Structure 1
Amino acid sequence: MLAKVKETIDAYGLLQAGDGVVVGVSGGPDSVALLLSLHRLAPEYGIRLHVACLNHMMRPRAAQEEAAFVSRLAQELGLPVTIACRDVPTMARQGKKSLEEAARQARYAFLEEVAGRVGASKIAVGHQADDQVETILLHLLYGAGTAGLGAMSYRRGRVIRPLLAVTREEILAFLAGEGHTYCLDSSNLDTDYRRNHIRHRLLPFLEKEYNPRVREVLWRTAEIIREENSLLESLTRRAWSECLRHEATGTVELSARVLASLAPALQRRVLRLAYSRLLGEGKSLPFHHVEAIRSRLGVREAAWQLPLGVQARLHRGRLRLQRQSLPRGEISFCRRLAVPGSTPLPRGGVLETSVLPGEALSRIDWKEVPAHEAYADLGEPRPQLFVRYRRPGDSFYPLGLGGRKKIHDFFVDAKVPQELRDTVPLVTTATDIVWVAGLRLDARWQVRAETSCAVHFRFIVNQP
């Protein structure tokens, strides 16, 4: 099993020397195997580990025993540990969410908090190959596109999944060989939970009646779909740049002609992207609305009322999606950022950009970089960049703070005067914030030792 974990880490670049890694450990076999594996491999990769365990307060006595088990295990391994409690049942009730969803959100929020506090760059969780298979079936049964059918990724932000190619059977064999005990969560047997129903009823039925190797087949299918979805996401970013004609707060305008010329798969993705850019990350346009728009791209005039107060209108070759009521105080501005070059801003000032090769980066004294400048590793090919002001729901991963933070909350913590918050430029890609000008870079774009090329941003205030 260790060889497979190491192969996964190397294949997907999950760990780099010097990484601090928060390891989420519940006490169950998967997370115990994850912790033991990373502890064994830590000297080879030059990483430091911090154990984190969350009591969801769903099984009071058992959860306390599991937390005590995790604490003892961390102590045996000589590792620091953080134990915390969150009242997930109350969170689920107040947020009108399922227990599963509330627990997942609480768990990741806790892990991000710990990572920020201890200065960790990675969060390792114990999802394994059988979890992946169950996720695929869940998404398939309840509806998903290629992003959903690709299931969980090996890396998303700072979260890594080193066990994703390892089966439950391999994990149990590893623990038996190591002579290590673990805890069993009785709630994993409760088939009232959808995932448990799939695990204990649907998958055994499929193995018995249809294909004894169905888990292997589904896992392999997810691998293929995820890689192909990555390509589609790259093509979508390119198609978005070609279609976009105007973007401002509360409004997106696309070329109907260019959109109609795209393959149906890209049409759907561009439309969903336009909708989510209006309403914020996580808002998805339902399939039947997407198809209603696609079916009439060739006509001269058409209009649609979309969910959450968005109106779409086709007029004179342009498709406009617009929120019908704009929140007070928003400023309607979004412009493509010239790279390299200069981009003027509506209230005076300019954003200057240049591109620096890796050898130039090695000569920079990072401690002396002023607040009005930043350097970002955007990868290759470099995405189209934009400059705009904040929108409702904007969030990013502030460098050095750990975890995701809403722009509003970041401005409050940074003591940005309320009257100035709508005028702070944000450098973005089509989907993500890169730099809050003059304040903070997003941690996902940080320049690293292996960076071969970076974009240098310089925010000049009140330049005529």
Structure 2
Amino acid sequence: MKQKILEYNEEYQLFQPGDTLYLAVSGGPDSLSMLHFFASIQSSWNLTLYTVTVDHQLRGEASSQDALYVKQLSEQWGIPCRIGQVDVERYKKEHQVGTQVAARELRYQFFEQQLQDHAKLVLAHHQDDVVETMVMQFLKGVRPKGIPNKRAFKNCELIRPFLCLTKEDIKHYLDKHHVIPKIDPSNEEDTYTRNRVRKYLIPLLKEENPRLNESLVKLQSLFDEESDFLDQKAEQAFSNLIQLERGSAVFSISEFIALDTPLQRRVFHLILNYLYENHTLQKDYFDAFLEWMNSQIPNSKYEMPNGLTFLKAYDDCYVIRGHKEPRTYYKYLHLGEKIDLPNGWSIQASKANVTQLEDDARFFCDTHHISFPLIVRTRQNGDRIKPKGMNGHKKVKDIFIDHKIPKHLRDEWPVVTDQTGEILWIPYICKSHVSKDSGQEIIQITFDQ
């Protein structure tokens, strides 16, 4: 078994001499064999090892005794052990999830707290776990992904060097080295789907195909190759399509719809990964999201758990995190001053050079047309502006509509007025008739979004 692991590691470079490894050990056969294996190569590989184990408090005294047993063995083999104690029942009630999900999330939270930067978390998953996982994914109608042998984890890496082994390999190893594991009785309960798959379904499948492990591991490898290719394409599409800013995103609906469905699905999940950070959804929302995207309902929204909202605004889709009420403001702007607005934008007033060019982010006017301080505020009911080059006034509301400004942005968009309340400028959108040059001293108002 030892040689198998080292050859597998040689191929995939999961751990290196001199690494710091945190071994996630439950006390069961798989993780105890992993603990013993790494203890046996610690010196020759110059490894810094720690054991991390979690008492889930699900089996009373037996749970705590298992954790103490892991600590005893670990320290006996020269590896310091850290025990975490978590309240699974409380977490289940607070987050409305099942026992296994709660235990897993709490366990990984504890692991995150323990890891040092650039260390590696080591898990003892093996081939039989891959087979169980793939069969369960088939049953749920989910594209089988199996179990990766490494992935990013916090600022570190999570590795699974035992994926080259079967459960029989592990059993023989424990027997050979006289290591006695703890057996969690819940692993035999038919309450959990994984247990039923392992106890009843997989033995039937192996009757039809005795080399089931080998077949499914090979299938996973083929899936992984295709998935890696599509992931690269999705990363390119995400980079070209999505604009990210301050925990939000915006993209073109028509360009998203033009993508092939496999890329749409991956881009959707890349958006979620960016905005949800470490949160893991327990359900795939892509189908419902795509139905909403293809609907002809304008200016609608699609809400997801934990405060993530997709908003349609003409051909743009805005993605925002958290429920946000519009922030109104009313500020004075003096010459030579820069003010920051609540939405992160800023505006300033300064003397200008006559050679400077006007653009949508700058407003020029003569000093005799205005007096300071100016007023920078959000829109108000009945606001009207006399646009440059146009006779008469126009409603600000209609100007926002004409320029296709999304509804959720209109109530925070700045409006610049003089002291009488006359609107001089709506940045990026409309300049008033006051924007002109009669050759006198010029003032420049600059907007930064």
Equivalent residue in structure 1 for 2:265, among 260, 264, 268:
268
Q: What stretches of structure 2 of length at least 5 have no aligned partner?
A: 328-343, 348-449
Answer yes or no: is 1:128 the counterpart of 2:123: no
Q: How does 1:47-446 map to 2 (within 5 A)?
A: 47-116=47-116, 121-145=119-143, 149-157=144-152, 158-208=157-207, 210-244=208-242, 246-249=243-246, 252-274=249-271, 277-278=274-275, 281-283=279-281, 286-292=285-291, 305-308=301-304, 310-313=309-312, 315=314, 318-323=315-320, 326-327=323-324
2:365 — aligned with what? none
Q: 1:314: how far off?
A: 6.8
Please state whether the residue corresponding to 2:23 is helix, strand or coil. Answer: strand
2:392 — aligned with what? none
Amino acid at match of 1:307: E
Question: Per the alignment, do residues 271 and 53 of structure 1 end up closer, same or farther by CA in structure 2, a change over 3 Å counting?
Answer: closer
Asked if structure 1 preserves the Cα contact closer than 8 Å seen for 2:292 and 2:302, the reply is no
1:144-175 CA distances to partner (integer Å, 9 max, x unpaired)?
34xxx223211122221111221101111111
Partners in 2 of 1:304 and 1:272 — Cα distance? 21
1:36-71 CA distances to partner (integer Å, 9 max, x unpaired)?
111222234321111222111111232233223222
Q: 1:120: how far off?
A: 7.0
Partners in 2 of 1:241 and 1:59 — Cα distance? 48
Q: Alpha carbon RMSD of aligned pairs, Å?
A: 3.0
Asked if structure 1 preserves the Cα contact closer than 8 Å seen for 2:126 and 2:163, the reply is yes
Asked if structure 2 preserves the Cα contact closer than 8 Å seen for 1:128 and 1:163, the reply is yes
Partners in 1 of 2:11 and 2:325 — Cα distance? 48
Aligned residues: 322
1:166-188 CA distances to partner (integer Å, 9 max, x unpaired)?
11011111112222222211111
1:58-104 CA distances to partner (integer Å, 9 max, x unpaired)?
11232233223222312321221222322222322333221101111
Asked if structure 1 preserves the Cα contact closer than 8 Å seen for 2:150 and 2:160, the reply is yes
Bigger radius of gyration, 1 or 2? 2
Asked if structure 1 preserves the Cα contact closer than 8 Å seen for 2:121 and 2:158, the reply is yes
Partners in 2 of 1:176 and 1:48 — Cα distance? 26
Q: Matched residues, percent identical?
A: 26
Amino acid at match of 1:15: F
Question: Per the alignment, do residues 176 and 205 of structure 1 end up closer, same or farther by CA in structure 2, a change over 3 Å counting?
Answer: same
Partners in 2 of 1:190 and 1:69 — Cα distance? 23
Q: 1:233: how far off?
A: 1.8
1:4 — aligned with what? 4
Partners in 2 of 1:276 and 1:111 — Cα distance? 20
Amino acid at match of 2:303: P
Partners in 1 of 2:268 and 2:54 — Cα distance? 39
Q: 1:221: how far off?
A: 1.9
Q: 1:35: how far off?
A: 1.0
Asked if structure 2 preserves the Cα contact closer than 8 Å seen for 1:275 and 1:321, the reply is no
Question: Per the alignment, do residues 111 and 267 of structure 1 end up closer, same or farther by CA in structure 2, a change over 3 Å counting?
Answer: closer
1:85-131 CA distances to partner (integer Å, 9 max, x unpaired)?
22222322333221101111121222222224xx7711111111111
Q: 1:32: how far off?
A: 0.9
2:388 — aligned with what? none
Q: 1:189: how far off?
A: 0.4
1:261-297 CA distances to partner (integer Å, 9 max, x unpaired)?
433311222234345545555357623224425757x
TM-score between the two structures when normalised by the length of structure 2: 0.64
1:328-363 CA distances to partner (integer Å, 9 max, x unpaired)?
699xxxxxxxxxxxxxx9669xxxxxxxxxxxxxxx
Q: 1:223: how far off?
A: 2.6
More relative contact order, 1 or 2 (CA 8 Å, 6+ apart) = 1
Partners in 1 of 2:221 and 2:293 — Cα distance? 29
Please state whether the residue corresponding to 2:97 is helix, strand or coil. Answer: coil
Asked if structure 2 preserves the Cα contact closer than 8 Å seen for 1:51 and 1:82, the reply is yes
Asked if structure 2 preserves the Cα contact closer than 8 Å seen for 1:272 and 1:290, the reply is no
Asked if structure 1 preserves the Cα contact closer than 8 Å seen for 2:301 and 2:309, the reply is yes
1:182-228 CA distances to partner (integer Å, 9 max, x unpaired)?
221111101101211111122122223x4333333222222322333
Please state whether the residue corresponding to 2:92 is helix, strand or coil. Answer: helix
1:364-390 CA distances to partner (integer Å, 9 max, x unpaired)?
xxxxxxxxxxxxxxxxxxxxxxxxxxx
1:437 — aligned with what? none
Please state whether the residue corresponding to 1:170 is helix, strand or coil. Answer: helix
Q: What stretches of structure 1 of length at least 5 have no aligned partner?
A: 331-344, 349-464
Partners in 1 of 2:7 and 2:201 — Cα distance? 31
Partners in 1 of 2:22 and 2:97 — Cα distance? 27
Partners in 1 of 2:251 and 2:31 — Cα distance? 46
